[in-house]
Amino acid sequence: MNGKWALTALGVGAAYLMRNKNARDKLMKQVESFTGMSMGMNRNSSSS
């Protein structure tokens, strides 16, 4: 039951982002900054 609700929420969120360019752009900037930070941390830890 919980998995079904999670998929429903995911679908609703995806539909919202597809219709809202501002929300999509904002989310992409957050994802880019997060992956940039995590990639930087991974790179530093693997080189030492």
Total structural domains within the chain: 1
pLDDT value for 43: 52
Going by pLDDT thresholds of 50, 70 and 90, the confidence category of residue 35 is confident
Quick: pLDDT tens for 7-32.
999 999 999 999 999 999 999 999 99
Going by pLDDT thresholds of 50, 70 and 90, the confidence category of residue 48 is very low
Overall average pLDDT of the 32-43 stretch: 74
Query: Using CA atoms, how far apart are residues 38 and 3, in angstroms rounded to an integer?
Result: 28
Q: Is 19 left (phi over 0), alpha (psi -120 to 50) or beta?
A: alpha
Q: Which domain holds residue 12?
A: 2-47
CA 27 vs CA 4, 45, 47: distances in Å:
24, 27, 30
Q: What is the pTM of this model?
A: 0.52
Query: Using CA atoms, how far apart are residues 46 and 19, in angstroms rounded to an integer?
Result: 40
